Homo-oligomer: A and B are copies of this chain.
Amino acid sequence: MNRQASLCIRPNMKQALCELAFETSGKGFTNITADLNAWIAKSGIRTGILAVHVKHTSCSLTINENADPRVLDDLAAWMEAVVPQVAHGALDGSDFLRRYRHDDEGPDDMPAHIRSALTSQTLSLSVVDGELLLGIWQAVYLWEHRSRPQCRRVAAHLVGE
Protein backbone atom coordinates (compact mmCIF):
# COMPACT_ATOMS: atom_id res chain seq x y z
CA MET A 1 0.00 0.00 0.00
CA ASN A 2 2.75 2.40 0.91
CA ARG A 3 4.42 2.21 -2.45
CA GLN A 4 1.15 2.71 -4.30
CA ALA A 5 0.22 5.66 -2.13
CA SER A 6 3.47 7.43 -2.88
CA LEU A 7 3.10 6.77 -6.59
CA CYS A 8 -0.36 8.29 -6.44
CA ILE A 9 0.45 11.38 -4.45
CA ARG A 10 3.70 12.42 -6.06
CA PRO A 11 2.63 12.99 -9.65
CA ASN A 12 -0.22 15.30 -8.81
CA MET A 13 -0.21 16.94 -12.23
CA LYS A 14 -3.17 18.87 -13.50
CA GLN A 15 -3.91 21.57 -16.05
CA ALA A 16 -5.72 24.84 -16.33
CA LEU A 17 -6.75 26.95 -19.34
CA CYS A 18 -8.08 30.43 -19.89
CA GLU A 19 -8.62 32.99 -22.57
CA LEU A 20 -7.74 36.56 -21.62
CA ALA A 21 -9.20 39.49 -23.58
CA PHE A 22 -7.38 42.79 -24.06
CA GLU A 23 -8.68 46.02 -25.57
CA THR A 24 -5.80 47.59 -27.48
CA SER A 25 -5.82 51.26 -28.49
CA GLY A 26 -4.15 50.77 -31.89
CA LYS A 27 -0.46 50.21 -32.56
CA GLY A 28 1.58 49.67 -29.42
CA PHE A 29 2.40 47.37 -26.54
CA THR A 30 0.15 46.05 -23.76
CA ASN A 31 2.05 44.60 -20.82
CA ILE A 32 0.10 41.40 -20.03
CA THR A 33 2.44 40.04 -17.33
CA ALA A 34 0.23 41.00 -14.38
CA ASP A 35 -2.90 39.57 -16.06
CA LEU A 36 -1.13 36.27 -16.69
CA ASN A 37 0.11 36.17 -13.09
CA ALA A 38 -3.33 36.97 -11.68
CA TRP A 39 -4.80 34.04 -13.60
CA ILE A 40 -1.94 31.71 -12.59
CA ALA A 41 -2.58 32.58 -8.92
CA LYS A 42 -6.24 31.60 -9.33
CA SER A 43 -5.42 28.36 -11.19
CA GLY A 44 -4.09 26.65 -8.07
CA ILE A 45 -1.02 25.43 -10.00
CA ARG A 46 2.24 26.60 -8.39
CA THR A 47 4.85 25.01 -10.69
CA GLY A 48 4.50 24.14 -14.36
CA ILE A 49 4.89 24.96 -18.03
CA LEU A 50 2.73 27.69 -19.57
CA ALA A 51 1.85 27.85 -23.27
CA VAL A 52 0.75 31.38 -24.30
CA HIS A 53 -0.78 31.92 -27.73
CA VAL A 54 -2.32 34.94 -29.42
CA LYS A 55 -5.40 34.02 -31.47
CA HIS A 56 -4.87 36.66 -34.19
CA THR A 57 -2.55 37.17 -37.14
CA SER A 58 -2.15 40.96 -37.10
CA CYS A 59 -0.81 41.29 -33.55
CA SER A 60 1.81 39.21 -31.75
CA LEU A 61 3.61 38.37 -28.52
CA THR A 62 7.07 39.44 -27.45
CA ILE A 63 9.16 39.59 -24.30
CA ASN A 64 11.18 42.77 -23.92
CA GLU A 65 12.36 45.42 -21.47
CA ASN A 66 9.92 46.71 -18.85
CA ALA A 67 11.95 49.75 -17.71
CA ASP A 68 12.77 52.57 -20.18
CA PRO A 69 9.71 53.10 -22.45
CA ARG A 70 12.03 54.39 -25.21
CA VAL A 71 13.06 50.75 -25.80
CA LEU A 72 9.53 49.96 -26.98
CA ASP A 73 9.37 53.24 -28.95
CA ASP A 74 12.60 52.41 -30.79
CA LEU A 75 11.46 48.84 -31.38
CA ALA A 76 8.17 50.06 -32.89
CA ALA A 77 9.99 52.70 -34.99
CA TRP A 78 12.35 50.08 -36.45
CA MET A 79 9.38 47.89 -37.36
CA GLU A 80 7.55 50.83 -38.99
CA ALA A 81 10.63 51.61 -41.06
CA VAL A 82 11.54 48.10 -42.17
CA VAL A 83 8.01 46.75 -42.66
CA PRO A 84 6.41 49.92 -44.06
CA GLN A 85 2.83 50.50 -45.13
CA VAL A 86 1.62 50.29 -48.78
CA ALA A 87 4.92 49.14 -50.36
CA HIS A 88 8.41 47.97 -49.37
CA GLY A 89 11.89 48.19 -50.83
CA ALA A 90 14.59 45.51 -51.02
CA LEU A 91 18.11 44.98 -49.71
CA ASP A 92 19.51 43.58 -52.95
CA GLY A 93 21.08 46.83 -54.12
CA SER A 94 18.18 47.71 -56.44
CA ASP A 95 15.59 50.52 -56.30
CA PHE A 96 12.85 47.88 -56.22
CA LEU A 97 9.65 48.98 -54.47
CA ARG A 98 6.86 46.41 -54.24
CA ARG A 99 3.26 47.26 -53.41
CA TYR A 100 1.37 44.82 -51.16
CA ARG A 101 -1.43 43.01 -53.00
CA HIS A 102 -3.47 42.18 -49.90
CA ASP A 103 -4.87 45.67 -49.26
CA ASP A 104 -8.64 45.17 -48.77
CA GLU A 105 -8.40 45.71 -45.02
CA GLY A 106 -6.43 48.96 -45.22
CA PRO A 107 -2.74 49.84 -45.63
CA ASP A 108 -1.88 48.83 -42.03
CA ASP A 109 -3.13 45.24 -42.39
CA MET A 110 -0.50 43.54 -44.56
CA PRO A 111 2.47 45.01 -42.63
CA ALA A 112 0.71 43.76 -39.46
CA HIS A 113 0.79 40.18 -40.79
CA ILE A 114 4.52 40.50 -41.62
CA ARG A 115 5.33 42.03 -38.23
CA SER A 116 3.47 39.18 -36.58
CA ALA A 117 5.55 36.62 -38.52
CA LEU A 118 8.80 38.37 -37.46
CA THR A 119 7.92 38.24 -33.76
CA SER A 120 6.11 35.50 -31.78
CA GLN A 121 2.69 33.95 -32.05
CA THR A 122 3.34 31.58 -29.12
CA LEU A 123 5.55 31.63 -26.00
CA SER A 124 6.58 28.72 -23.80
CA LEU A 125 7.20 29.86 -20.22
CA SER A 126 7.97 28.47 -16.82
CA VAL A 127 5.81 29.01 -13.73
CA VAL A 128 7.55 28.79 -10.34
CA ASP A 129 6.11 29.66 -6.90
CA GLY A 130 2.80 30.53 -8.51
CA GLU A 131 4.10 33.11 -10.96
CA LEU A 132 5.87 33.50 -14.31
CA LEU A 133 9.61 32.99 -14.16
CA LEU A 134 10.95 36.10 -15.88
CA GLY A 135 14.17 38.07 -15.74
CA ILE A 136 14.02 41.21 -13.61
CA TRP A 137 13.84 43.52 -16.68
CA GLN A 138 11.42 41.33 -18.66
CA ALA A 139 7.72 41.77 -19.37
CA VAL A 140 5.40 39.82 -21.67
CA TYR A 141 3.80 42.14 -24.23
CA LEU A 142 0.87 41.84 -26.58
CA TRP A 143 2.05 43.87 -29.58
CA GLU A 144 -0.80 45.42 -31.55
CA HIS A 145 0.16 45.99 -35.20
CA ARG A 146 -3.16 47.41 -36.47
CA SER A 147 -3.79 51.18 -36.40
CA ARG A 148 -7.22 51.09 -34.81
CA PRO A 149 -8.28 49.68 -31.42
CA GLN A 150 -8.98 45.94 -31.36
CA CYS A 151 -10.22 43.33 -28.91
CA ARG A 152 -7.51 40.66 -28.75
CA ARG A 153 -7.68 37.23 -27.17
CA VAL A 154 -4.69 35.46 -25.66
CA ALA A 155 -4.95 31.77 -24.70
CA ALA A 156 -2.99 30.50 -21.71
CA HIS A 157 -2.64 26.81 -20.91
CA LEU A 158 -0.79 25.65 -17.80
CA VAL A 159 0.32 22.08 -17.01
CA GLY A 160 1.82 21.48 -13.58
CA GLU A 161 1.03 20.91 -9.93
Give A contacts to B, CB under 8 Å. 4-5, 7-15, 17, 47-57, 62-65, 68, 70-71, 73-75, 77-78, 80-93, 96-98, 100-102, 104, 110, 113-114, 116-126, 128, 133-135, 137-138, 153, 155, 157, 159-161
On whether the beta carbons of B71 and A113 are closer than 8 Å, the reply is yes
Copies in the complex: 3
Would B53 and A124 count as touching, CB distance under 8 A? yes
**Interface pair B98/A135, CB less than 8 Å apart:** no
The answer for the CA separation of A98 and B81 in the assembled complex, in Å, is: 9
Q: Indicate which residue in B15, B50, B55, B74 contacts A134 across the interface (CB closer than 8 Å).
A: B55
Chief secondary structure at chain A's binding surface:
mixed
A81/B88 in contact, CB under 8 A: yes
Which residues of B have CB within 8 Å of A124? 51-53, 122-124
Knowing A51-B124, A87-B93, A102-B70 touch, does A64 contact B113 (C-beta < 8 A)?
yes
Determine the distance from Cα of A53 to Cα of B161 in the docked complex, in whole angstroms. 20
A159 and B14 alpha carbons, distance in the complex (Å): 11
